[in-house]
Amino acid sequence: MTRTPKKTSRANNPPVIDPYIPANGNFGYRVSRYELELEYKVSANRLSGGATITAATLASLKTFTLDLADSLTVSKVSVNGHRPQFRHAGGKLHVTLSSALPAGAAMSVQVRYAGNPRPIRSLWGEVGFEELSNGALVAGQPNGAASWFPCDDHPSSKASYRIQIATDNPYHAVANGKLVSKRTRAALTTWTYELAEPTSTYLVTLQIGEYQSHRLAKSPVPMHAALPHRLKRHFDHDFGRQPDMMKLFIELFGPYPMATGYTVVVTDDELEIPLEAQGISIFGANHCDGHRTSERLIAHELAHQWFGNSVTARRWRDIWLHEGFACYAEWLWSERSGGKTADEWAKHYHHKLTSSPQNLLLSNPGPRDMFDDRVYKRGACALHALRGTIGDDNFFTLLRDWTTRHRHATAVTDDFTGLAANYSDVSLRPLWQAWLYATAVPPL
């Protein structure tokens, strides 16, 4: 059950953008671009550099905040070339201007900072910037972006990015977007990536390791991999059907949303679960074992490029729009590749759901249960029920319409149910009431 903030004075209890992550997100401005110029020392786990944030004020603004973890120390802040007062505490960088900016004003915020980054402790474990045995990774979902750069850390806030990261040779650095330059000087290599597509902060990532880069052949969009040399043979087998997945998902979901292609990173360490980022998926060495035991996860992460990364839930209560859709994509791939059909998977997991506690509301599972497996499987079963109601042609046309209308934008459950109504000759209200707005698992 989601807690609703009590209505007290703003001084004692500031307004909350999303009760699932009540400390995240900021008021008074809208970010359009982040430019990061960073250096990371692997041996010391030392991150240093600066961020330039381009934004516009939404109201007259004299004070504002950015999300930034306390493990990083801010040394300098400037706004439109002026030096404001600032303080950094409680995961927030508080900035006070000498005079207010009017509504609609352009704002360029520069922040210099450094420190030993570490994950942010949360309801869902440790989230964000994480040291590996020989490198680093960023797993930002849902509130970990502030562990490595100052930001407006909420999925409804999308922006473009330029990420420049200098790190020791021979480490390979992967970030979102197109690699526009790679420059080696002495013991450091500087990698610069440009991400034009509007992207939520939690989907921005940095992956550093002794990786080799490879290009996958015969794919309808450019596909790359970065992984340790020792895993290359297993990778060729385990991820060998990725181009076929891409072809299928383009057919069913519409054009692949990223202009720069798709990259898979396989770390030298084991990871409990794979991670999605904009245009990138991150797997552990345990997902690359030579036996294709993780192929459903490979399909799941690829599907997130449409559902979650391009079309992003505006608030975390609607996470089924990410996970239910990506889970259903697993079943569609299984069906196309000669495994169980989507109908067989739906029946299998429906039986499991009816044997599980029936106390989860799919449209609002609550922060503690937002990553519960029932959100994934019940969401996928709801889509299968919809498919059975409106038919295959309407169902897949609806999905392509959904990914087109909300491409690189945000949406909520009502947007999807409203759009689905256009593809049905019967009222869908009973279906949505049963699957989304009641806790009991309905018949399939």
For the chain, give every domain's residue range.
Answer: 29-201, 212-305, 314-435
Average pLDDT, the chain: 96
What pLDDT band is residue 7 in, cutting at 50, 70 and 90? Answer: very low
What pLDDT band is residue 217 in, cutting at 50, 70 and 90? Answer: confident
**Distance between CA 223 and CA 214 in Å, rounded?**
9
Tokens of 73: 């120390």
Query: Span 340-348, mean pLDDT?
Result: 98
Query: pLDDT tens-digit profile of 403-418?
Result: 999 999 999 999 999 9
Query: pLDDT tens-digit profile of 107-153?
Result: 999 999 999 999 999 999 999 999 999 999 999 999 999 999 999 99
pLDDT for 286 equals 98
Class of domain 212-305: alpha beta
Query: pLDDT tens-digit profile of 75-116?
Result: 999 999 999 999 999 999 999 999 999 999 999 999 999 999
pLDDT for 416 equals 98
Query: pLDDT tens-digit profile of 23-79?
Result: 999 999 999 999 999 999 999 999 999 999 999 999 999 999 999 999 999 999 999
pLDDT for 200 equals 98
What pLDDT band is residue 11 in, cutting at 50, 70 and 90? Answer: very low
Tokens of 189: 């290599």
Indicate whether 396 pLDDT > 80.
yes
Indicate whether 361 pLDDT > 70.
yes
What pLDDT band is residue 248 in, cutting at 50, 70 and 90? Answer: very high
Task: Cis check for the bond before 119: say yes or no (omega within 30 of 0).
Answer: no
pLDDT for 188 equals 97
Q: The domain 314-435 belongs to what CATH superfamily?
A: Neutral Protease Domain 2 (1.10.390.10)
Query: pLDDT tens-digit profile of 250-271?
Result: 999 999 999 999 999 999 999 9
- Judge contact between 150 and 217, C-beta under 8 A: no
Indicate whether 240 pLDDT > 80.
yes
What pLDDT band is residue 12 in, cutting at 50, 70 and 90? Answer: low
pLDDT for 60 equals 98
Indicate whether 3 pLDDT > 70.
no
Of the options 2.60.40.420, 3.30.720.120, 2.60.40.1730, 3.30.465.10, the CATH number for the domain spanning 29-201: 2.60.40.1730
